[in-house]
Structure 1
């Protein structure tokens, strides 16, 4: 099943599948906020560091299998597989889009 995702989210997911940090950061607005496991990151530099350490180093690849609209956000869910404890783990990615970019992303397990 192929999900219909907005361009910035599809770009993020495709870059994650390649473990491409720069590609994962590119769809975010410059002032975007990423919330992951209690950590709040702002801007490309902080996101780049987290994605390199938590995603690329662990070879964590998110494979979305459901999408829905909820409270002004696009919620994309699916498993992430990689070299980390408990793999695979099912995650929900809550995207807020603005002007064809990701303005905010909250990741929860």
Structure 2
């Protein structure tokens, strides 16, 4: 089994998920391309500086553990990864869907995070 329990997951997505879980902002930030877009919690973060600031905030805001649920490949270098988070945030448990889009070099260009309903 690969890190995060997802065999076949592209290396930058796997590295990002592992780094984010460990609160390793520099490694997570290095997984993104030169002009990334992240949509999380109803907010859009555009560009490397904004994504880095988002990573800094989300890596320290709450304490949580993750459980891998699914990883689904799509056309056009897209993957959807679903994880369960258990922690000290409001509600205590949430399943989050992370939809990644990769560029030709395998870097993350877009990431959209939504709560599963």
- TM exceeding 0.5: yes
Question: Cα distance, 1:70 vs. partner?
Answer: 3.4
Structure 1 unmatched ranges of 5 or more: none
In the other structure, the counterpart of 1:17 is: 21
Aligned partners of 1:24, 1:34: CA distance in 2, in Å? 13
* SS of match in other structure, 1:95: strand
Aligned pairs for 1:10-89 (under 5 A) are 10-70=14-74, 72=76, 73-89=78-94
Aligned partners of 1:62, 1:44: CA distance in 2, in Å? 25
TM-score between the two structures when normalised by the length of structure 2: 0.82
Question: Cα distance, 1:10 vs. partner?
Answer: 0.6
Structure 2 unmatched ranges of 5 or more: none
Alignment RMSD, CA only? 1.7
Aligned pairs for 1:80-99 (under 5 A) are 80-98=85-103, 99=105
Any idea what the Cα deviations from partners look like across 1:17-62, whole Å, max 9, x if unmatched? 2111112111000201101122111122111212222332212454
Q: Is the 8 A contact 1:36 1:107 kept in 2?
A: yes
